[in-house]
């Protein structure tokens, strides 16, 4: 059973560009959440998708948007990248209120 898979693993973008990160949830999971983890910090909740809709959103600007597809996979889009967006972006999947399982993350570097 493949766990949560994210792509790409590493990415370098220029300030002002746009980026799309992808996530495939663990088999049987229907909920996908995205987190941003800055170096030396705990993950910060960006938003959560369930039944192809954004169910909950953290304190992130509208530059951060997402999508969930019918097969439960998800994308995170970030527009107008800032240097401060450099971080490890984590996808987590879950089924209802059960524990969230994280992928290995995408390391985004904005230069």
Partner 1 sequence: QQQVKQSPQSLIVQKGGISIINCAYENTAFDYFPWYQQFPGKGPALLIAIRPDVSEKKEGRFTISFNKSAKQFSLHIMDSQPGDSATYFCAASGGGGSNYKLTFGKGTLLTVNP
Under the rule (CB under 8 A), what is the footprint of partner 1?
4, 31, 33, 35, 40-45, 48, 50, 55-56, 58, 90, 92, 94, 97, 99-105
Least spacing, CB of residue 104 vs partner 1, in Å = 5
User: How many helices (H) and strands (E) in the chain?
Assistant: 0, 11
Q: Which is nearer to partner 1, 12 or 80 (CB)?
A: 12
Q: How far apart are CA 12 and CA 52, in angstroms?
A: 28
Q: How far apart are CA 89 and CA 107, in angstroms?
A: 6
Q: Which is nearer to partner 1, 35 or 72 (CB)?
A: 35
């Amino acid at each position: 059973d493949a766990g949560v898979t994210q792509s790409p693993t590493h990415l370098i973008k220029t300030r002002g560009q746009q980026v799309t990160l992808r996530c495939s949830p663990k088999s049987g999971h229907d909920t996908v959440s995205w987190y941003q983890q800055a170096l030396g910090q705990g993950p910060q909740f960006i938003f959560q998708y369930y039944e192809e809709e954004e169910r909950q959103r953290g304190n992130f600007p509208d530059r951060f948007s997402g999508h969930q597809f019918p097969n439960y996979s998800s994308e995170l889009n970030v527009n107008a990248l800032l240097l401060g967006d450099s971080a490890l972006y984590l996808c987590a999947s879950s089924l209802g209120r059960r524990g969230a399982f994280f992928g290995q993350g995408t390391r985004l570097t904005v230069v």
